[in-house]
Amino acid sequence: MKIISLNTWGGRAGRDLILNFFRENKDVDVFCLQEIWSGGQEIARKYNELGDLSDVMYDFFDIVPEILSDYNYYFRPHVGDHYGLCIFVKKTIPVEEEGEYFVHKDKDFTPDDSVGIGGHARNLQFVKIGSDNPITIWNFHGLWNGQGKSDTQDRITQSKNITKALENTTGPHVLIGDFNLLPETESVKIIENSGMKNMITEYGIKSTRTSFYTKELKFADYAFVSPEVEDVNFEVLPDEVSDHSALLLEITP
């Protein structure tokens, strides 16, 4: 089974770039995507710390489902009904269950101007797929504060809430996405100490960012697998379609 995780950056690297990425990767079974917009221009205008958002793909769901027509998709926003996480699953793969679990605030929480948009609610999105040996895939986009990717109390609490969700997950499971964390943080260690294997450290990955990202610290994205997932191949893809690199995880549950 092939799983790709990508923080799409809202398509800001270039609409054609990201659409071609989807066209070229139709052999993938599951896409776990972050920073997906469905409308929401009024939300984007409210916050200015993200810069000019005029080039965001607010029409994502008018275009991408046509390209990925062989997939079912599940959108789980965490800012109103307009911005959040999305998973695409090949139609040939049965989806036993799908849903979400909030790990920071709840969906109705609106950060004030002193916090900024990065302090909005954060959810874990999941799909439980397959019939013979079901596997649960968790998709995540972690807290951002514009001040680096070190520990904060909110991030530590967020990780503790993530592990609670994982502890209640039966069978093999994967946790993947943009965590906005450095590898040496306590927030990452909390997840590792729950028994999840960290593919970033297992494979000695040095960066999960592309040339669109010009800051020094090049970590943000992670893939974790539970002990039941033994046959694993992992790589950071070279495609430059966002300020984040896409992660490719190949597994046999």
Residue 227, pLDDT score: 94
Q: What is the pLDDT of residues 111-129, one digit of tens each?
A: 776 556 678 899 999 999 9
Which residues span the domain enclosing 120? 2-252
| Overall number of domains in the chain | 1
The CATH code of the domain that includes 141 is 3.60.10.10
Angle at 73 between CA 25 and CA 23, to 5 degrees: 20
* Residue ranges of the chain with per-residue pLDDT less than 50: none
